[in-house]
A and B are shown apart, each in its own frame.
Chain A
Amino acid sequence: MNDKIKQTNKPKASGEMNGNAKDIQENGSRTEKEIEEKILASAETEPIPESLLPENIAKKLKENGGSSARHSSQLPKHRSARFRHMAEAAAAIALAVVVGGVTLRWTGQQKELSDSTVGMGTGLLEETAEREKADVDEDENIDRSRKEHASEAGELYHLAADYDEVYDVIPLTDYIFYEWEKEEARSDIAATAEADTVSGASAEADVAADLAEGIQDLSAENDFSTTNLQEYGVDESDIVKTDGNYIYVVRERQVQIVKISDGNMKTAGMIRPEMAAADSLEELYVDGDRLYLVISCVDTEMSSDTDDALVDFYSVSSDDSVKLLTYDISDPARAELLGTVTQDGYYYTSRKVGNYVYIFSWKDLYGYTEDTIKNAIPSVQGIKVSADCIYIPEEATSELIITSVDGNEPDRTTDQIVVMNSGASIYMGTQGIYLYNSRYDSSQSNTVYTEIAKFSYKDGYLDGVGAASVVGSVEDTFAISEKNDYLRVLTTDWYSSERTNLLYVLDENLSLCGEIRDIATGESIYAARYLGDMAYFITYRNTDPLYVADLSDPQNPQLLGNVEISGFSDYLHPYGDGKMLGIGYETDEDSRPLLGVKLVMFDTEDPAEPKILDTEVLSEMNYTASDAYYKTVMIDAEKNLIGFLTADYDSDVSWYYQVYRWDEGGFREVLVQDLGNEISWGRSGMEVRGVYVGNYFYLVTTEEIKSYAMEDEFSLFAEIALQ
């Protein structure tokens, strides 16, 4: 891999391109540019139909019920035939959007089409199979895995016998222009990918679960905050970390290490990894004297494509890869690089459990032809992953590369697997890694399923375990959670005649144990949280009921009770014994505009009869990042801190970090820090983090760190600029 990078980063263009070709290209592109401009200019003179003007569109939407998908079942019945047709089309698209992949079942004519494609792809493959096989067998750069992997993950994935079997599941790009079914599938994938960015996984439930069960909280012991995690015991990388002595901040080209001491701050060191211009720092972990840093790399290659005599041009293609750098930071002023691991694909997420860091990257499988398909096999440490590490489904348009790295052996992977699929979200609990995606099956009476596959990761070794398919789609990051080998999943079924919600309990092999159906018919899940054996979730249509379900008997989960309140919460966080905090919005019950950000504290002491203790409407704020970007949230019941990011966007956008305390049965605002009109956005969302150490609260942005004395009414104590 390193060799490849060195080679391909050298710009061949200027040196090797002959003068003639260069002239042609420049000339060509100049006239092309002119023609493009002419096309744009001509299009600008086209009159736009009145019906499409924004005001008329708004009018039409209002006439048609003014209702988005979440409320579409409430659409008035007197819609015109045309609009009904449109709504059906909408449903079809919506389904496609939710579905995880191209492995759709088409009926009738469409099915024939899809079959003919598959046939064609296979044929092409067979022609080249022999040649590929020869290439591959002679290739010494194939990783022979150290350990045999389990042969399957339920019915969804099985281990490939050889590379040919891998190639068989990848749709070849040939000239298949009129197969719009594929395009539809593609939009699904893109949409699934979007979903992934938000609903990575879920599990913070057990942070609280463990609190509730008396397991000592990490932060209480050491008196500093951790990243807001999905799952207790499963660390997540972030752009800001603290170990109680230092705050580590990922900047553009370096990690800044800031020594903190009772609110005072001083830069103690900088880590500047070797990076190419296009590389970027992502996130980090800190654990004792180890710092793990994730870097995204783009390896750009210029090549000449001369198969078309009409145009001789140079194309630029790029390959993504991810690096995990492990440093010894026992002396923060002189961090020492201990090892580097590189894998193909673009960075998706990572987790850390014990000494092992798990890196997840995606590689798209588009655009391969029979000549290039062997490049679809990803590399780890520059070595192709062997077929017996590759889990394959029937068909795949992307592949997920999962590696594990032991902090004590940071220059190699302990294990790696590739899971080929068509996009999935990831949840990692203390026992398993779960990939889940929704799939629409039109042959099965318009139902959406969530497919879930489980992989174990004990001591860094990755293995397929089992798979399941449940009705409905997972609508909230925190709606899926593992506890004592049981997986609990809350789904919303959008496509039945009436929307409904379901709760499933699956055993360690993902066999069904128990379920609750027909929960909150007509509503959908906005937020969920598991605490011990209880599931808490918010559904919403016009009001915001909090439901509580008892899952202590996996065979027989029970819905216990609910309490209704106006508006809705889209983020739930356990707040000490018997309390659940909701962050969301107040709404007008009739017209549904958002009236402001809302905090609500539920009393869940008696799960059969949850109560509302207090609500606080922040009417000047109309956005909170808590739902989509949960790492901006800093909540700690023992420290009595509720910190979150909000915005007021009525005229101009203004950002605020707000901290509340829960005192004597009510919310009390203790800090509103104005962050100005702009905050930085990165791949992990909004780059603002709240951290506490001892009696000081630290607010970290990409510009600076401010410290506040919590015991002195959160007065501003000190600040330091970041580099």
Chain B
Amino acid sequence: MEKERFLVKRAKHGDVEAFAQLYEKIYQNLYRFALYTLKNPQDAEDVVSDTVADAFAQIGQLKKEDAFSSWMYRILTNKCNRRIRDYYGQRTQTDSSILESVEDGENAPAQAAIPSDSEWTSRQEEHMDVRDAFFELADEERLILAMHLFLGYTSKEIAAFLEMNENTVRSRESRALQKMGNRLKGV
């Protein structure tokens, strides 16, 4: 943690190596979060790459020098959230009917490109099933779970981020996990 402050200090003055060291500690989390939220490896790669470029360009503004990870997570989460929104085109309505349809997984992003089966053959079947079950969740469910699992957000933080009630976050998270449980049982 102390080291992180120094690295941030150096990165603020343009030291790429220092920035890369900070990044090294979290890049797997960043990518996994993006992939599991966006369901698409290319989008995930882009969004992490954008996050890095943005973060490096504006690290001078990061005042709290021990908050690098959470700051990166916030940039990435914003980007992923925005991208999910972009999947829905220019739709700007926010009324509940749309939200419900989102919930139900209709209007899903134009079939996000999931890697073809052959790419995954070397991997254990269960992992694929788990990933597939996860990808079947609604966007919001994936976002909540991924924020929690890959970035370590608490439900309170997720609630604040999504402007939801903390209890609602918990119940949605719980319900998403149950959905996955049911799907995995059925496999």
Shortest CB distance B119–A (Å) = 9
Q: Choose one: A51, A58, A173; the contact of B45 (CB below 8 Å).
A: A51
CA distance A64 to B13 in the complex (A): 15
Shortest CB distance A209–B (Å) = 26
| B106 beta carbon closer than 8 Å to chain A | no
B181 touches A86 (CB 8 A): no
CA distance A406 to B67 in the complex (A): 37
A58 touches B10 (CB 8 A): no
Stretch at the interface among A42-50, A343-351, A711-719: A42-50
Which residues in B have their C-beta under 8 angstroms from that of A44? 32
Residues 47-101 of A contacting B (Cβ, < 8 Å): 48-49, 51-55, 57-58, 61-62, 64, 66-72, 83, 86-87, 89-91, 93-94, 97-98
Residues 9-33 of B contacting A (Cβ, < 8 Å): 9-17, 19-21, 23-24, 27-28, 30-32
B149 touches A366 (CB 8 A): no
Interface residues on B, range: 35 or more
* Chain A residue at minimum C-beta to C-beta distance from B148: A36
* Chain A residue at minimum C-beta to C-beta distance from B35: A46
| B99 beta carbon closer than 8 Å to chain A | yes
A649 touches B140 (CB 8 A): no
CA distance A622 to B45 in the complex (A): 35
Which residues in B have their C-beta under 8 angstroms from that of A94? 54, 57-58, 61
| A320 beta carbon closer than 8 Å to chain B | no
Which residues in B have their C-beta under 8 angstroms from that of A616? none
**How many interface contacts (CB-CB < 8 Å) are there between A and B?**
265
B161 touches A367 (CB 8 A): no
B6 touches A48 (CB 8 A): no
Residues 534-555 of A contacting B (Cβ, < 8 Å): none
Which residues in B have their C-beta under 8 angstroms from that of A89? 50, 53-54
B63 touches A194 (CB 8 A): yes
Which residues in B have their C-beta under 8 angstroms from that of A49? 31, 41, 45
Shortest CB distance A478–B (Å) = 14
Identify which of A51, A183, A307 gathers the most chain B CB atoms within 10 Å of its CB: A183
A68 touches B163 (CB 8 A): no
CA distance A404 to B21 in the complex (A): 46
A311 touches B175 (CB 8 A): yes
Shortest CB distance B135–A (Å) = 11
Shortest CB distance B96–A (Å) = 7
A39 touches B49 (CB 8 A): no
Which residues in A have their C-beta under 8 angstroms from that of B53? 61, 64, 83, 86-87, 89-90
Which residues in B have their C-beta under 8 angstroms from that of A61? 16, 19-20, 52-53, 56
Residues 156-187 of B contacting A (Cβ, < 8 Å): 159-168, 170-171, 174-175, 177-178, 180-181, 184
Contact of A52 with B48 at beta-carbon distance under 8 Å, contacts A42-B130, A43-B36, A89-B54 already known = yes
B90 touches A109 (CB 8 A): yes
B45 touches A194 (CB 8 A): no
Contact of A367 with B166 at beta-carbon distance under 8 Å, contacts A594-B10, A623-B5 already known = yes
CA distance A610 to B174 in the complex (A): 65
Q: Choose one: B9, B57, B85, B162; the contact of A623 (CB below 8 Å).
A: B9
Q: Choose one: B12, B164, B184; the contact of A367 (CB below 8 Å).
A: B164
Q: Choose one: A83, A199, A311; the contact of B171 (CB below 8 Å).
A: A311
B20 touches A58 (CB 8 A): yes
Q: Choose one: A28, A36, A116, A190; the contact of B94 (CB below 8 Å).
A: A116
Q: Choose one: A39, A198, A593, A678; the contact of B10 (CB below 8 Å).
A: A593
Please name 7 further chain A to chain B contacts, defined as beta carbons within 8 Å, in addition to the given A187-B78, A647-B6, sorted by A numbering. A40-B149, A68-B11, A68-B13, A89-B54, A94-B58, A308-B175, A311-B178
Chain A residues with CB under 8 Å of chain B are: 28, 31-32, 35-36, 38-46, 48-49, 51-55, 57-58, 61-62, 64, 66-72, 83, 86-87, 89-91, 93-94, 97-98, 109, 112-113, 116-117, 171, 173, 175-180, 182-184, 186-187, 190-191, 194-195, 197-199, 305, 307-308, 310-311, 313, 315, 317, 364, 366-367, 369, 524, 585, 587, 592-594, 622-623, 628, 647, 649, 653, 678, 681
5 nearest A-B residue pairs (beta carbon): A58-B20, A69-B60, A90-B57, A42-B127, A86-B53
Of the A-B pairs whose beta carbons lie under 8 Å apart in the complex, a sample of 8, sorted by A's number, is A39-B130, A43-B150, A54-B23, A68-B56, A93-B54, A177-B140, A187-B78, A195-B63
Chain B residues with CB under 8 Å of chain A are: 1-3, 5-6, 9-17, 19-21, 23-24, 27-28, 30-32, 35-36, 41, 45, 48-50, 52-54, 56-65, 67, 71, 74-75, 77-78, 81-82, 84-85, 88, 90, 92, 94, 96, 98-99, 102, 123-124, 126-128, 130-131, 134, 140, 145, 149-150, 159-168, 170-171, 174-175, 177-178, 180-181, 184
